[in-house]
Amino acid sequence: MSLTADEATADVAELLFLEPGELDRRLDLREQGLDSVRTMELVDRWRRAGVSDISFVLLAEDRRLERWLDLLREMQGGGAAGAAPAGDARLRTCIATVSLGGTLAEKLDAAAAAGFDGVELLDADLQGSPLPAADVAARCAELGLSIDLYQPFRRAEGLGAAEFDDALTRFRGELDVMAELGTSSILVVSNTEADADPDPDVSARQLATLADTAAARGMTVTFEALAWGTHIGRLSEAWDVARRADHPALTVAVDTFHLICRGEGAGTVAEVPTEKISLVQVSDAPWRTGDLAQWSRNHRCLPGDGEFDLAGPLAAVLAGGYRGPLSLELFDPDLRRRDPAEVAARGAAALKKLVDRAGAGV
């Protein structure tokens, strides 16, 4: 390996003004004094040492030194942190709670029973639940589920200065909720209002400010282009803004619906560096014409039940070394009327079948 475990441990210890032997490998490094700024410094050091795929987002997933050393070993030895073959157990799966009907408690039980590793938690599901955020976190822990992402945060970029100040206040409030949930990533979606500023540099500066605010609390921002976004409606446009922002705590989401319905595909995905993709959302859909938002909110079905080519884009993601989470995000009123356990089980099976198919291109 170009970077040994001893060297990595020494790097961490140096930033904390400790001796390597004083570090607790099983304790969250934040509790030992390692903040986000120092974590970013480690990312820079380890990239210069040859671990080119290391990122702030990967380190933020689990902040124990023992996990970081495993991750570095895997990345340099061709293991889980390298290109993950389709069907590999290390590819994490999750399901968005918006995909299922029922109460939040029923949705979590269904996700766990179906074998998902985690959930994307919709803010409306949390707000509509009698369970406070801390209890939701505890229930997920009991079920063996991670909360991979909290979503969505709207009206966040392309704003005038005064409104962006208000958005930043709202954003800090959402970070407070995330701290109670124990999750570290928030999904920010592109501006869909007619008055959105068209200047990509404005959006980039505002997203960088959000990422700075999140990183100060050990959190990250995942940016998603909604297909009906006023100026940012394609993955290529979201990546252009994220590239301009150039912030280690800012990544993009690949959503198969938004990608395909706007005419993009595997080639677009391949242009985004894998370390800058922190979420892949999967759904199928029938081909339709007309309003994109209504198409999205009412016709996003299980993989295999629609007409989209999902295997091509997913194969491109996996070929680049993406490790997850791979999330099932459905918007289908009929599915939400059904037993959430049934839908989650069908979803897990459909996702596995899709990953197996995508493996032909890996």
Structural domains in the chain, sorted by start: 5-77 (1.10.1200.10), 93-361 (3.20.20.150)
Contact 236, 266 (CB under 8 A): no
CA distance 5 to 169: 41
Residue 118's identity, in one-letter code, is: G
Contact 141, 117 (CB under 8 A): no
CA atoms within 13 A on the CB side of 307: 5
- Give the strand pairing for 185-189 and 220-224: parallel
CA distance 55 to 36: 12
Going by C-alpha positions, the residue among 184, 134, 148, 163 that lies closest to residue 281 is 148
CA distance 202 to 304: 39
DSSP string, 13-43: HHHTT--GGG--TTSBGGGGT--HHHHHHHH
For the stretch 234-244, what's the b/e string if a residue is b when 16 or more beta carbons lie within 10 angstroms of its beta carbon?
bbbbbbbbbee
CA distance 234 to 229: 8
Q: Looking at the chain, list the stretches that DSSP marks H as alpha helix, in order from N- to C-terminal side.
A: 5-15, 36-48, 56-61, 65-77, 104-113, 123-127, 133-143, 161-181, 200-215, 235-245, 256-261, 266-270, 292-299, 311-319, 333-336, 340-358
Query: Token pair of 237, please?
Result: 């446009």
Residue 261's identity, in one-letter code, is: C
| pLDDT digit string, tens, across residues 249-273 | 999 999 999 999 999 999 999 999 9
| pLDDT digit string, tens, across residues 195-204 | 999 999 999 9
Spatial CB neighbours of 246, under 8 Å, sequence gap ≥ 6: 208
pLDDT along the chain (362 residues), means of 10: 86 93 92 85 83 81 90 72 40 94 97 96 97 95 94 97 97 97 95 97 98 92 97 98 95 97 96 93 94 94 96 92 90 95 97 85 38
CA distance 64 to 107: 29
SS3 156: coil
pLDDT at residue 61, as a whole number: 79
SS3 315: helix
Query: Token pair of 98, please?
Result: 């918006």
